[in-house]
Amino acid sequence: MTETAYETTNKFLQDAFDVIGLDKNAEHLLKTPSRQVSVELVIQRDDGSIGNFIGYRVQHDNARGPFKGGLRFSGDVNLDEVRSLASLMTWKTALADVPYGGAKGGIHVDPTELSRSELERLTRRFTECIHEMIGPTTDIPAPDMNTDAGVMAWIFDEYSKHNGFNPAVVTGKPVDLHGSVGREAATGRGCLYAIREVLENDGEGLDGSEFVIQGFGNVGSWAGRLLHDQNAKVKAVSDVHGAIYNENGLDTHAVYDHLKKTGSVVDFPQAEDMANEELLELDCDVLMPAAIGHVITEENADDISADYVLEAANGPCTYKAHHILEDRGVTVVPDIFANAGGVTVSYFEWAQNIQHFSWEEDRVNSELESHMVDAFRTIRGLMNKHDITMRTAAFVAAIQKVREATKQRGLQ
Ligand code: GLU
């Protein structure tokens, strides 16, 4: 039977629990979400018909601060996946040392089948349904797969109708509407800092390193462009329509312009088109899955030719795939570290909103860098101490912080 996303996350957690040595009740407490809500969303379609969709918000843990995590639109969204993603947020915020717990939301919808105004009605309806469970000190949504600053603006506006002006209810807003400079690029930029630290620790560097990126959405395209600026060689990228490849490296800024013009990376003039499945197996230093979950499984883990897998997406490796890769000497840079840049800058945005004060981009980027560097130092210390993988070390660090906060607050 195929493993579900929530099972994968819990197996990774179990590896870390085994290192720490917790009792079963504590393990259960740390695994299980505090609250999970599903709402039926009924909207009027543009043609006058009725559309029905299901939305979820799962609040996993808030021992360290308000629940925090993105909202995604996807035809793959289901409660199991949202539970997994909410749990990952708890560990990510702890590892990145931002004062939040973990949550996630999702609407089961293929956003390409809805017009922008239908998506607006859907987002507003969802916000109306959950407005009592979100708020600047309770639960703060943000962008995730197929949601952007515009969607966050609708959430902010709809929430304000019920609860008054409070932009800190949601992060990843447009810069002109209480958003933060640097937030849109933050997850991709965080990936760059993460892999730079890992490579330098191994006596290597970004300059000349070969990257392959699966997915050219917000995270993949920002990482791809920033890597290019650091003289890394991005040999191939893909999107849902297909992959493109150039042995000498792609000009990722030009690929981005091509995507904006044509709607896909495919048929980029200075590259060959390639099948999506081939891309994952390309020879490179760093393979960066930046699309969806469970793309590296026990079926293809043996065929991965990269030395490092940088998990820009949430949950791209199954539990077995992770262990196959590590046994083969491939270093997996885990999602809760690799993509923590997004929520870190969300924290900066929230702090700016609360203080009614804006930061310059240099400050955002340099504070992001220090959070990522500190997280890596913590991980590296635990890897050396316990002789464990980077993923288990990241979970051990995060669990210890959440566990400590839980103990200090006292069980009610
Ligand atoms: N959706 C992003 C993530 O998975 C960002 C979450 C946030 O900023 O709250 O980390």
Pocket residue to mutate for ligand 1, from 71, 343, 344, most atoms within 8 A of Cβ = 343
Q: For residues 179 and 208, is the Cβ–Cβ distance under 8 A?
A: no
Q: 144 alpha carbon to ligand 1 midpoint, in Å?
A: 6
**pLDDT score at 412:** 56
Pocket residue to mutate for ligand 1, from 62, 73, 89, 352, most atoms within 8 A of Cβ = 89
Please report the atom of ligand 1 found closest to the CA of residue 171.
8
Residue nearest to ligand 1 atom 8, measured at CA? 343
Q: Which residues lie with the beta carbon below 6 Å from any ligand 1 atom?
A: 68-70, 92, 142, 144, 171, 314, 339, 342-343, 346
| pLDDT one-digit tens code per residue, 236-269 | 999 999 999 999 999 999 999 999 999 999 999 9
Please report the atom of ligand 1 found closest to the CA of residue 340.
10
d(CA 175, CA 336): 26
Residue nearest to ligand 1 atom 7, measured at CA? 343
Check 24, 68, 92, 104 and give the catalytic one: 104
Which residues, including other chains, have CB under 8 Å from residue 198's CB and lie 6 or more apart? Answer: 308, 331, 333, 376, 390
Beta bridge partners of 272: 245
The tokens describing 9, both together, are: 């996350």
Q: For residues 400 and 17, is the Cβ–Cβ distance under 8 A?
A: no
Query: What is the number of other CB atoms lying within 10 angstroms of the CB of residue 408?
Result: 8
Please report the atom of ligand 1 found closest to the CA of residue 343.
8
Q: 311 alpha carbon to ligand 1 midpoint, in Å?
A: 14
The tokens describing 16, both together, are: 């870390």
Q: 70 alpha carbon to ligand 1 midpoint, in Å?
A: 5
pLDDT tens for the chain, 412 residues: list them: 689 999 999 999 999 999 999 999 999 999 999 999 999 999 999 999 999 999 999 999 999 999 999 999 999 999 999 999 999 999 999 999 999 999 999 999 999 999 999 999 999 999 999 999 999 999 999 999 999 999 999 999 999 999 999 999 999 999 999 999 999 999 999 999 999 999 999 999 999 999 999 999 999 999 999 999 999 999 999 999 999 999 999 999 999 999 999 999 999 999 999 999 999 999 999 999 999 999 999 999 999 999 999 999 999 999 999 999 999 999 999 999 999 999 999 999 999 999 999 999 999 999 999 999 999 999 999 999 999 999 999 999 999 999 999 999 997 5
Q: 405 alpha carbon to ligand 1 midpoint, in Å?
A: 21
- Write phi, then psi, for 293 (nearest 5 degrees): -80, 160
Residue nearest to ligand 1 atom 9, measured at CA? 69
Q: 270 alpha carbon to ligand 1 midpoint, in Å?
A: 33
Please report the atom of ligand 1 found closest to the CA of residue 92.
10
Q: For residues 105 and 58, is the Cβ–Cβ distance under 8 A?
A: yes
d(CA 66, CA 95): 15
Pocket residue to mutate for ligand 1, from 57, 104, 187, most atoms within 8 A of Cβ = 187
d(CA 334, CA 296): 13
Please report the atom of ligand 1 found closest to the CA of residue 100.
9
Cα 374 off chain centre by: 19
Annotation says 401 is catalytic: no
**pLDDT score at 2:** 84
**pLDDT score at 105:** 98
Place of tokens 């992060």: 171
What is the maximum alpha-carbon separation in the chain?
Answer: 62
Helix and strand numbers, DSSP H then E, in the chain: 14, 13
Pairing between β-strand 102-108 and β-strand 139-140 as defined by DSSP bridges: unpaired
Place of tokens 């849902």: 240
Q: 142 alpha carbon to ligand 1 midpoint, in Å?
A: 6
**Residue 135 DSSP code:** B
Complete domains list, the chain, with CATH? 35-170 (3.40.50.10860), 186-338 (3.40.50.720)
pTM of the model: 0.98
| pLDDT one-digit tens code per residue, 137-194 | 999 999 999 999 999 999 999 999 999 999 999 999 999 999 999 999 999 999 999 9
